[in-house]
Structures are given as structure tokens and as C-alpha cells.
Structure 1
Amino acid sequence: MEIAALPLVDEHAIVVAAGADDVWRGLSEALDGAFSPFGMAGYARLIGSADRRESGPRPLAEGSTLPGFRVVSAVPRRELVLRGSHRFSTYALTFRIEHVAPDRSRLTAESRATFPGLAGGLYRRLVIGTGGHAVGMRRLLSSVRRRSE
């Protein structure tokens, strides 16, 4: 399934007092930290993720993996697209960096996913319905800001 065909889950944005180079570096570092092998690798195995460990070049580039995700597109300083799947969902996470002003950038994170079947619907309620996904995304964006500024 094409990423654009996946239903939109949510979108979060943050303004960062840094240029696109610093935000790109901060994004890669924050993702590596958030999806470190210690917690996420076990979770990725438990739910049957296609990609279960970190691999590939750093900073993240096409073909790199994080537990639960594979980088399908990386345009440095502009856009990073991650895709993943497991027993309960097929999903994508797209980060876009936009120039706002000198040394100011807007970082947007767009989540898309499908949750097929009864098990997928229950998983959606657990992850999306409880607000856990939104909290996690806000924390991730805040981490990118701290690492970038």
C-alpha cells in the first residue's frame, strides 16, 4: 500500500530555533535515542515488526532501519519518511523541515496508518485512542528541539 493511501492519524509540528542542518542532525539523533535497541527492539519482536533492529548508515538514510521502521526516503534538511508494519498495523511517519526565518525551522511529523481486522482495531484503541501516540510524538519533537538548539 502506498504511503499516501494510508489514512491520516495525526500531525504535530514544532518551531525550532535552529537551521535545517541542525534540525536534520537533531532529528536523526532523537530517533536513534527514542528507538534505541534496549526497549523498542523487544517490543518490535513482540508485535512482529518487519524491521526489528537498528541498521544502516547514520545519520539516517534510505535503507537505514530502526526497530519498527525502515527509512524509505531521506532528503537531508528537508524530509525523512519512515515506514513499518507488524501484525496489527501498516504505518508511516513523515518528518518535514521547513525554513521559517534565519535560524528558525518548522518540523512537522505526520503519522499515517491502517489497522486491519478486530486485532488491529483493538491495537488502534490502545495506541491512538488512549492518547499515547500523541504524547510520544510531542516528546519526540521536543527531543529534536533540545538536540537542535
Structure 2
Amino acid sequence: MPGVEPPFVDEHSRLIPYRREVVWRALNEHATGDLLIGPHNPLALILGTKPRGGFEITTSVEGERLDLVGRHHFSNYLLRFELANGAPGSTAEAAPGATRLSALTFAAFPGPHGRVYRLLVIRSGAHAIATRGILRSVAQLAARRG
């Protein structure tokens, strides 16, 4: 998908009570470890994920943005993480030292199998649950590393 951003799907965010540097380190640690599907995971084999782990980092702007892309038989996708200071629409005093971590999902679901996959993963709410779980895991990792 070089240079082509698939359609926007959704956005989830979480306010993490740690400085951006701490959240950035936790996000990178999670993105290069726990977020990946193991190469021998049956799901990776069934879906035909490329890369095998499900994601590869394509953009990394320290403390600001991390883009992960991948594809499989039923979808091409981009998972973008953005970091910002404090809560949206708040003053710095409302959340001093906190970081807003947002996960934006972009994905294309080509063909009839892609449409079925979208129903199973997106419309069912499974994707939202998984994405919020990633944000929660990064927050927990930041708490341990903070």
C-alpha cells in the first residue's frame, strides 16, 4: 500500500497519565512485540497476513505518530497511532503531564469475501474491542515503565 491510504474506519483514544516520552516508549515496545501475530499463529496462516506478523512499521515520528500497515486475503489496512498532550479541548492544566493516545484505523475490504470479513470484524464490534485493548495495554505498559 505504499502511498495509498485506505478509507477511514474509526478512531479510538485514551488519556494516559504519563508524559509523551513514556507513552511513546510503551507504544513502540508494544508495536514491535505484543501487537504482532506470531509467525506460526493459525490466524496468520488462514488470513495470509503480509507481513506474517500482521503489521510493519512504515512511519515513525518520535513522540508524535506511528503507522503500522499490513494486508491479508480480505483486507489492506493501516493502523495509525497519534500522540498529543492532555485531553482534547482541555487546557494543559486539566491534564498536566498526560498524553492522549489515539488509534485511527484505515482499511479496504475488497470483493465479496472482504465485505463479509468487514461484517465479522468491524460491524460486530470485535475491531473496536481489540483496538481499545491495544490502548489499554499501552497504558499499562507506560504505568510499569513510567
Q: Which of 105, 117, 139 is the equivalent residue of 1:123?
A: 117
1:95 matches 2:96 = no
Alpha-carbon distance in structure 1 between the residues aligned to 2:85 and 2:4: 24
**Uncovered stretches (5+) of structure 1, i.e. residues with no partner:** 53-66
Over 3 Å counting, the alpha-carbon distance change for 1:145 and 1:3 in structure 2 is farther
- Cα deviation for residue 38 of structure 1 reads 7.2
Which among 121, 128, 134 is matched to residue 128 of structure 2? 134
State the TM-score, normalized to the length of structure 2: 0.83
Is the aligned partner of 1:147 residue 2:141? yes
* Percent pairwise identity: 36
Q: For structure 2, list consecutive stretches of 5 or more residues without a partner in the other structure.
A: 87-91
Contact 1:79 1:94 in 2 (8 A): yes
Structure 1 runs, 4 residues or longer, greater than 6 Å off: none
Aligned twin of 2:57: 71
Larger Rg: 2
Q: What secondary structure, in the 3-state scheme, does the structure 2 residue paired with 1:34 have?
A: coil
- Once residues 10 and 139 of structure 1 are traced to their aligned partners in structure 2, the CA distance between those partners, rounded to angstroms, is 15
For each residue in 1:31-68, what CA deviation from the matched residue of structure 2 results, as whole angstroms up to 9, or x when unmatched? 322325277x432222111101xxxxxxxxxxxxxx11
Q: How does 1:1-149 map to 2 (within 5 A)?
A: 1=1, 2-4=3-5, 6-31=6-31, 32-35=33-36, 37=38, 41-52=41-52, 67-100=53-86, 101=92, 102-149=96-143
Change (3 A) 1:110 1:28: same
**CA deviation after TM superposition for structure 1 residue 3, in Å:** 4.3
* Separation in structure 2 between the aligned mates of residue 38 and residue 72 of structure 1, nearest angstrom: 19
Counterpart CA distance in 2 for 1:12 and 1:3 is 22
User: Do the aligned residues in 2 keep the contact of 1:73 with 1:82 (CA within 8 Å)?
Assistant: yes
